[in-house]
Structure 1
Amino acid sequence: MTLVDLSFRDSIAIVRLDRPDRLNALSDELLADFETALDRIDTESSCRAIVVTGSGRAFCVGADLPEVLNRLDGDPETILAFVRRAGNAFSRLENSPRPVVAAVNGHAVAGGFELVLAADVVVAAEGALLGDGHVRYGMLPGGGGAVRIERKLPPNAARRLLLTGDLEPAERFRDWGLIEEVVPAPHLLDAALALARRFTAHSALALAEVKRVANAARDLPTADALALEFKTFAAYLESPDLREGLTAFRERKRPAED
């Protein structure tokens, strides 16, 4: 039985964490299934965007704490391996050439919040609560949360969330700019798919390259980031995608989607 359900709707992959009895808490088995889903997506050339969501009442409440305590009582090194595995999975999603939409159907806490932060765009259901939450359990982020939250939220809000462990409603994160839209729960997946379809209407190569440059440039000095952007643009001039897009614009028609 898989703990991550993967389905395709047209050219969009829907990755659904499917451990509702544990509020989609992260375990080795769930992470393995998540990695398998990403592997499958990488083999699907027709897949143009990814939607990540959860089953049941929660998006993901982070690591399975009883499992973490068992590891702490046994071999603490396995905790490091687990956190590294989760962080690598989140980074893999962030660095995917495909745009990623997180559809937050309920609580997104700790590792679940780190998963949200790895998405390109976020939509959420009314009533969803989000936050880092690690300090509430005497823990620290290890899957990228402390880094990405500072880059994606206003500084004061990010630091307060890290230091208090507070959970905030989706509407607050919309005001902060992390969440694009908050919708009634029954309409969440439709809203996420509608947003994903906006991405699939554009050149897959252009989307992959702009994601790559934006991700890489974040960690570079301004001069180096600008040089990377120009170098990428210069290489893209050789792409048929650019010529097709400009021709379509000139002729007032849509370019081909592949």
Structure 2
Amino acid sequence: MSDCVEVQRLDAVWVMRLNRPQARNAVNLETAQALAAALDALDADPELRIGVLTGAGGNFCSGMDLKAFAATGERPYVGNRGFGGLCEKPPAKPLIAAVEGYALAGGCELALACDLIVASREARFGVPEVKRGLVPGSGGMLRLPSHIPYHVAMEAVLTGDFFDAERLHQLGLVNRLAEPGQALDAALAMARTIADNGPLAVRTAKSIVSQSRNWRPEDRFDLQRPRIAHIFVSEDAHEGATAFAEKRKPVWKGK
């Protein structure tokens, strides 16, 4: 694993920290490859239930490393995972963004690719690509309109201006606000709550919620039915009901 991404296992939580503070955690190809590897490790390890993505040095991520792009044309894309090794193929397990400081351009798109966002009250988000003659092609134009009102998303994309975390919390993009310096702790608290739940149910629920937004209303239950049938005959479902009846904490097997 590259030094560009630090990883840490905290029981069932897998913490991934972008580690280029001298560049506000701008993503170069090495960082993208390291993050892709860390995400593969999250999905491959049955003992890990959820991931948290954050940044070192008081910032989340300032986007693509423009110096590397200008010098060599380097683009930090990894196979079918896209920008940063994440934006086009998030992990099967839930992922929380813990945002301090700036989450800009590709950095904002990394946060958007996560399932939940916890941010410092002083965090700033933005997709300022148009100010550099570019467009936010790694999810900014696609995900923002489905997460915040259309006209606000259009303002963000066309002006390239920054938005503070408090406003985005009001609009529903940011799940929880934290005091400055406490975003990771708040994200870990949320992660541990999720990690205590049935892992098979959590993965299935994430899949349905993320996919079903594109389903036609008349097809939704027919499409959902085969995707959740395994849940009701799983060992975890039996364990959850038994633990409830016995007034004890469930012991999940993930199957």
Tell me by how many angstroms 1:257 deviates: 3.8
Residues 77 and 84 of structure 2 are in contact (CA less than 8 Å); yes or no, is this contact kept in structure 1? no
Residues 257 and 91 of structure 1, relative CA distance in 2, 3 Å threshold: farther
Aligned to 1:5: 6
Aligned to 2:218: 223
Residues 129 and 167 of structure 1 are in contact (CA less than 8 Å); yes or no, is this contact kept in structure 2? yes
> Structure 2 residue aligned with 1:150, among 145, 148, 154?
145
For 1:22 and 1:59, how far apart are their aligned partners in 2?
Answer: 11
For 2:77 and 2:203, how far apart are their aligned partners in 1?
Answer: 29
Residues 233 and 254 of structure 1, relative CA distance in 2, 3 Å threshold: same
Report the AA paired with residue 131 of structure 2: R
Aligned to 2:166: 171
Residues 141 and 153 of structure 1, relative CA distance in 2, 3 Å threshold: same
Aligned to 1:141: 136
What TM-score does the superposition give when structure 1 sets the normalisation length? 0.90
Which runs of structure 1 show a deviation greater than 4 angstroms over 4 or more consecutive aligned residues? 78-84
Tell me by how many angstroms 1:88 deviates: 5.4
* Residues 1:92 and 2:93 aligned together: no
Residues 137 and 198 of structure 1, relative CA distance in 2, 3 Å threshold: same
For 1:88 and 1:189, how far apart are their aligned partners in 2?
Answer: 21
5+ long unaligned stretches in structure 1: 73-77
* Residues 1:200 and 2:218 aligned together: no
Tell me by how many angstroms 1:71 deviates: 4.1
- Once the two structures are superposed, residues 116-154 of structure 1 have per-residue CA deviations (whole angstroms, 9 ceiling, x without a partner) of 101111111131100111112111112122111111112
**Which deviates the most, 114-123 or 181-190?**
181-190
Residues 87 and 213 of structure 1, relative CA distance in 2, 3 Å threshold: farther
Tell me by how many angstroms 1:81 deviates: 5.6
Aligned to 1:37: 38
5+ long unaligned stretches in structure 2: none
What TM-score does the superposition give when structure 2 sets the normalisation length? 0.91
Give the number of the structure whose residues are more often helix, by fraction.
Answer: 1
Q: How many residue pairs end up in the alignment? A: 251
For 1:24 and 1:87, how far apart are their aligned partners in 2?
Answer: 11
For 2:75 and 2:20, how far apart are their aligned partners in 1?
Answer: 20
Residues 124 and 179 of structure 1 are in contact (CA less than 8 Å); yes or no, is this contact kept in structure 2? yes
**Which deviates the most, 136-145 or 39-48?**
39-48
